[in-house]
Amino acid sequence: MLALSHYNSSASLLLPHVANDSGGKVEVRAAVEGLSHHENLTFEEPTAGGAFIVILSMTLGIISNIVALFILVNAYSLQRRRSKATFLLFATSLVITDSIGHVIPGALVLRLYLSGAARPQFVNSSDGMCQFLGGSMVFFGLCPLFMGCAMAAERCLGVTKPLLHSSLVTKTRAKICLSVIWLAALSVALLPCFQLGSYTYQEPGTWCFIKVLSDTKEVDVAFVVLFSGLGLTSLAVALVCNTISGLTLVLARLRRQPGSHHSAKSHDIEMVVQLVGIMVTSCICWSPLLIFGLMSAIHSYTGTIGHSLSYYETLMVMGVRLATWNQILDPWVYILLRRTVLRKIYLIAKCQAGLRGTILGRWEPSSFPSSEKNDVDQV
């Protein structure tokens, strides 16, 4: 028993009663093995600096989303073109979802920081708040990825098949699509309520996610495969659609004859540029967590995680921190990648690189005027 004295006091609560008979040796060995495994998963005490970072992140995210929401709502109220209005409806919904997804999980994480995080005895367990926080992480993680995919597909159809797009895409159908996206993400997040997967506290005990690091079962692996598979598939589809849209616009501009009015519209250029920005942001911020979670679950289930547990814990923490930045950076896509900003960037680049008379000179500043001005000129 003296050999166990170096463990912390909380660990003594986990020791079983040791009998005096020969079977006691087996019980002691089981206790030591379980305690050793428990020590590897003991959470570090969160620091005050961590709480400050959470508050700073929440403040920055709220301000960014409010500014982007103001820009999008103002543009939506002034927009008369149906295709642009549909895009703005999707974009506004994305910003609102990002805002809520930043505030709710952030408030719960802050509460855990202020309360000293989850206690070690709650390892591999989950309470009501952990269930809600884990479900929020999954729901608000899938929604932006699904919306980015839907927006990219809608723009791809609008750029490549404008007539088909005008007959199929309406505001009502766009709202139905948004409802389906929210319902699908909610259905995935609620799977643990039906014993199809589980949420648990993650290192350092200040957030909850799918159980991927220890005691991972078949349903947990299936759950994380579903979550990561849906997220990565959405990113891949968005990449394909945005690539097709971008190439179509570039080819249309390069093939334009002098004096021809059959060129790509400025609002198409703006929307595709914004979609590319959203896609790049989502890939950088969400891919690590999707991949790291999948790797951790597979290694934990196969029992090969071994002494690499702390390594995978670090990967998961890094992944969730990057994912948090997605909801902060998304609004800046709409704030910075607007026609007025793009036009200024083009003029600066043209002056610096001397693009007059070159092929890139086909992209005149007139490519980025307001849509309303284009309508007036055509009339």
> How confident is the model at residue 378, as a pLDDT?
37
> How confident is the model at residue 226, as a pLDDT?
96
Decide if 144 is inside a domain.
yes
- Quote the CA–CA distance of 358 and 260 in Å, as a whole number: 18
Residue 128: how many CB atoms within 10 A of its CB?
A: 7
> How confident is the model at residue 83, as a pLDDT?
65
Residue 126: C-alpha distances to residues 119, 120, 134, 195, 299 (Å)? 11, 12, 10, 13, 22
> How confident is the model at residue 365, as a pLDDT?
52
> How confident is the model at residue 191, as a pLDDT?
95
Kindly tell me the burial class for residue 243, based on how many C-beta atoms sit within 10 Å of its own C-beta (0-12, 13-18, 19 or more): middle
Decide if 85 is inside a domain.
yes
Q: How many domains does the chain have?
A: 1
Decide if 325 is inside a domain.
yes
Residue 224: C-alpha distances to residues 196, 300, 336 (Å)? 11, 12, 34
- From first to last of its 379 residues, the chain has per-residue pLDDT tens of 434 333 333 333 333 344 444 444 444 344 334 434 444 444 455 555 667 787 888 888 889 889 888 888 887 776 656 667 788 889 889 999 999 998 999 888 888 888 766 555 555 556 788 899 999 999 999 999 999 999 999 999 988 998 888 888 888 999 999 999 999 999 999 999 998 889 998 887 788 899 998 888 899 999 999 999 999 999 999 999 999 998 988 888 787 665 555 445 667 778 888 889 999 999 999 999 999 999 999 998 888 877 788 888 889 989 998 998 988 888 888 888 877 777 777 788 778 776 554 544 554 555 555 444 444 343 3
Read off the amino acid at residue 142: L
- Quote the CA–CA distance of 133 and 178 in Å, as a whole number: 23
Query: Which H/E stretch holds residue 207?
Result: strand 207-210
> How confident is the model at residue 240, as a pLDDT?
95
Q: Which domain holds residue 278?
A: 47-256+264-356
Decide if 290 is inside a domain.
yes
Decide if 24 is inside a domain.
no
In 83-114, which positions are buried (b, 16+ CB within 10 angstroms) versus exposed (e)? bbbbbbbbbbbbbebbbbbbbbbbebbbebbe
> How confident is the model at residue 11, as a pLDDT?
37
Domain CATH code at residue 232:
1.20.1070.10
Residue 205: C-alpha distances to residues 121, 176, 257, 378 (Å)? 11, 38, 62, 60
Decide if 310 is inside a domain.
yes
Residue 143: how many CB atoms within 10 A of its CB?
A: 23
In this structure, what are the phi and psi dihedrals at residue 370, rounded to the nearest 5 degrees? Answer: -75, 155
Decide if 126 is inside a domain.
yes
Question: Are 147 and 94 contacting, i.e. CB atoms less than 8 angstroms apart?
Answer: yes
Decide if 218 is inside a domain.
yes
Q: Can you read off the two tokens belonging to residue 193? A: 């309520």
